[in-house]
Amino acid sequence: MNKTLSSIIKKEFRHILRDKQTLIIIFLMPVMMLILFGYAINLEMQNIKTAIVDNSKTPQSRDFIEKIISVNFFRIVSVDPDYNNLESLFQMRQANCIVVIPYDFARKLDHQPQTKVQLLIDASDPNAANYINNYLNMVANLYNLDHNDFVIQPLSVEPRLLYNPDMKSAYFFVPGLIAVIILLICALLTSIAIVREKENGTLEQILVSPVKPIHIIIGKVLPYMMIGFLMGLMILVIGHFWFGVPVAGSVVLLNLMMILYVVTGLSFGLLISTITKSQQIAMMATLVVTILPTIMLSGFIFPIASMPLPLQFVSRLIPATHFLEIIRSIMLKGVGISELYKQAGALALISLVLLGVSMKKFSTHLE
Amino acid sequence: MRSNGYAVEVENLTRIFGDFKAVNDISFQVEKGEIFGFLGANGAGKTTTIRMLCGLLLPSSGQATVAGFDIYKEYEKIKQHIGYMSQKFSLYEDLTVRENIEFYGGVYGLSRKEISDRTKELLDYLNLNQQADHLTKSLPVGWKQRLALSTALLHNPPIIFLDEPTSGVDPVSRRNFWLLIYELVEQGKTVFVTTHFMDEAEYCHRLSIMKDGRIEAMGKPRELKIKYSADNLNDVFLKAVQGGAANE
């Protein structure tokens, strides 16, 4: 290997290994982020606080209430609260929904084709409101089936859930978190790598030597690539063994893709490093340009298909978008490279552009 | 090295930052083997000049050659022929003395054998054998400066640029540092040094006094004292800077 390059790589490794504090942060922060987010972000809903107003007080109404309780989704917190003051239950955050059974419930059931039960929902969380509505309808269906054997159902949908049959949020979020964390940490690692040398004045000393920009850039990326890969591997292991996310596809392919993505993250940081003047600004800039777009626009939480068209275009420029598709496909669906070469190509392209611009920005002249 | 024989030749060199002329149309020559001192208050343009000559900064206009190479087109060649030491201590504090020497040796493309020979030589010379494997940040400032100078000389350059090398160093260390500079000149090297210590100015073969980006006076210390009818360089400096040279 080139003598100059190997000297730079050796030196970078020494910086990394000697700075124990940073090293600990590099490996501890992702673990903490994964575990915290892994538990905090959970779209599965349970224990919806439910109040029931039973004006009917008949065997029929009690039967209906039994059905509601039997579904794990609802948790009865209040029975027959003050009917004139129902809204205060929502305002005091004591209930998410209130079921009101009318006093003529039993009579109507027996003599009329349709009986109505009122459901009041706190829709300040529209997503939850939707769930509540669906669940209670399901309960009503169960009740109908139990009490009327002659219901004719001309059409019924028979769902079969693939890749995540138990609909576990973790399967969705853990791969996403891995994508966010790798990008963030890798970009942070390199973002301060060159700025630190600018601040300390050591860069000047290197710039008066015959070193070429490409040597400095590669010399910085290679050591951090190893660190980034080890860190990524570590959170992958945690995601798999702790959160139980399967790896349906090739582990080797997954790791190769991760290395590619690590390089993308490092290139991101490097570009920031070449254009900023202080470590603090570099870190702030990195946090802003990696975390926000990655979480909002990569499909990590919000589906890209439902974004406005311009944002869909922007999301294509975000590395995490492509890696998310890759990691979810490999981990959950067991997809191979033949279905993922487009995403891999996009990541490679983004990295090359970022590295190219960094190299260009990183002129051998200081100003 | 080419023709004319000057180590550094500068003609009408100018550098403008925005609308501020940091270096304003300066011209001078530095002979091979001389200690050329650049005197001036802070912000006079000394560092900007040195940076342009070292290829760290592009001039706005004017011409200059270093070791016979053009600073616009041949800065890559210039870098092989110069040693540079900035006012800020620029070795890696989290590396040991030996690691710093090895790193810069590698950066200048020295072979493994050359590096280990030079390392031994340097450690003996600087009397740093005991501290060779200590972190650089644990060294006293004076030693750091000497180490920084030595690493800047690993590739044996004929011309050396020193930008306020002794700021923040105690008088004894400063003296030791200048002994080192004299040794270099005895080896036939050219030393280009900026300073604002007048006693150091006395050590220079020739001086140039800068003010507001211009060279106000230039010559041997003795000549300057006669010209400004002053007893010491301090008075020379004050007279030159306060416009005494306006009629020059």
Bridge partners of A352, per DSSP, are none
Asked whether residue A155 is domain-assigned, the answer is no
Report the C-alpha gap between B13 and B140 in whole angstroms.
38
Who among B84, B94, B107 is closest to A211 (CB)? B107
Residues A283 and A306 in one domain: yes
pLDDT of res. A43:
66
Strand order in the sheet with B61-66: B20-31, B6-17, B61-66, B69-70
Beta strands B35-40 and B61-66, pairing class: unpaired
For B232-243, the pLDDT digits (tens) are 888 888 888 886
Average pLDDT over residues B22-31: 93
Question: For residue A333, is it within any domain?
Answer: yes
pLDDT score recorded for residue B2:
46
> Which among A147, A180, A195 is the end of a domain?
A147
Q: What is the mean pLDDT of chain A?
A: 88
Tell me: do A203 and A343 sit in the same domain: yes
User: How far is residue B1 from each of residues A215, B4, B7, B157, B160, measured CA to CA in Å?
Assistant: 27, 9, 9, 12, 15
Q: Do A68 and A198 sit in the same domain of this protein?
A: no
Q: Are strands B214-219 and B206-211 parallel, antiparallel or unpaired?
A: antiparallel
A20 and A54 in a single domain? The answer is no
In three-state secondary structure terms, A303 is: coil
Q: What is the ipTM of this complex?
A: 0.86
- Average pLDDT on A142-165 reads 79
Q: Is residue A158 part of a domain?
A: no
- Please state, rounded to an integer, the average pLDDT across all residues of chain B: 89
A-B CB pairs within 8 A amount to: 84
Given a cut of 60, is residue A367 above it in pLDDT?
no
Q: Are residues A52 and A8 in the same domain?
A: no
Q: Which of B56, B94, B152 sits opposite A207 (nearest CB)?
A: B56
Strand A97-101 relative to strand A118-121, pairing: antiparallel
Total number of domains in chain A: 2
Residues 6+ apart with CB under 8 A from A315: A297, A298, A299, A304, A307, A321
Give the CA angle between residues A49, A50, A51 to the nearest 5°: 135
Nearest by CB: A15 against B56, B80, B94: B94
3-state helix, strand, coil split of chain B in percent (to 5) is 40, 25, 35
- The more confidently predicted of residues A363 and B53 is B53
Integer Cα distance of B146 and B144 in angstroms? 5
Domain that holds residue A348: 3-41+168-361
Stretch 207-226 of chain B: residues touching chain A, C-beta under 8 Å: none
| Whether residue A19 sits in one domain with residue A124 | no
Closest chain A residue to B59, measured at CA = A367
Domain ranges (residues) in chain B: 6-244
- A179 and A322: one domain? yes
Same domain, A209 and A333: yes
* Cβ(A312)–Cβ(A304) below 8 Å: yes
Minimal Cα–Cα distance from B245 to chain A, Å? 33
pLDDT the model gives residue B199:
85
Looking at the predicted structure, is the pLDDT value of residue B125 above 90?
no
Q: How confident is the model at residue B114 (pLDDT cuts 50, 70, 90)?
A: very high
Averaged pLDDT, B106-124: 91
Going by C-alpha positions, the residue among A85, A89, A148, A158 that lies closest to residue A122 is A89
The nearest alpha carbon in chain A to B94 belongs to A15
Supply the pLDDT for residue A284.
93
Q: Are residues A69 and A35 in the same domain?
A: no
Q: What is the DSSP string of B183-245?
A: HHHHTT-EEEEEE--HHHHHH-SEEEEEETTEEEEEE-HHHHHHHTT-SSHHHHHHHIIIIIT
pLDDT band at A45 (very low <50, low <70, confident <90, very high): confident
pLDDT digits (tens, 9 = 90+) for B196-241: 888 889 999 999 999 999 999 999 999 999 998 888 888 888 888 8
**Nearest-neighbour CA in chain B from A202: distance (Å):** 5
> Residue B159, class by beta-carbon neighbours within 10 Å (0-12 exposed, 13-18 middle, 19+ buried)?
buried
pLDDT confidence band for A4 (50 / 70 / 90): confident
pLDDT at A149: 63
> Each residue of A255-309: pLDDT tens digit?
999 999 999 999 999 999 988 989 999 999 999 988 888 888 998 888 898 899 9
What are the tens digits of pLDDT across the range A90-134?
888 889 999 999 999 888 888 888 888 999 999 998 888 998 999
| pLDDT score, position A1 | 62
Residue A160 lies in a domain: no
Q: Inspect the interface and report whether the beta carbons of B108 and A206 lie closer than 8 Å.
A: no
- DSSP state, A80? S
pLDDT digits (tens, 9 = 90+) for B44-77: 899 999 999 998 888 999 999 999 999 998 888 9
Chain B residues with CB under 8 Å of A211 CB are 107
* Position A355 pLDDT exceeds 70: yes
Q: Any CB–CB contact under 8 A between A363 and chain B?
A: no
* Cα A178 from Cα A163, distance rounded (Å): 19
CATH number of the domain to which A63 belongs:
3.40.1710.10
Name which of A21-35, A310-324, B23-37 the model is least confident about.
Answer: A21-35
More confident residue, A189 or A365: A189
pLDDT at B247 over 60: no
| Three-state DSSP class for residue A53 | strand
Cα distance between residue A23 and residue A25, in whole Å: 5
A220-251 burial, b if ≥16 CB within 10 A, otherwise e? bbbbbbebbbebbeebbebbeeebebebebee
Task: Pick B76's closest partner by Cβ from A3, A202, A210.
Answer: A210
Please determine, looking at this structure, whether the domain spanning B6-244 carries the CATH number 3.40.50.300: yes
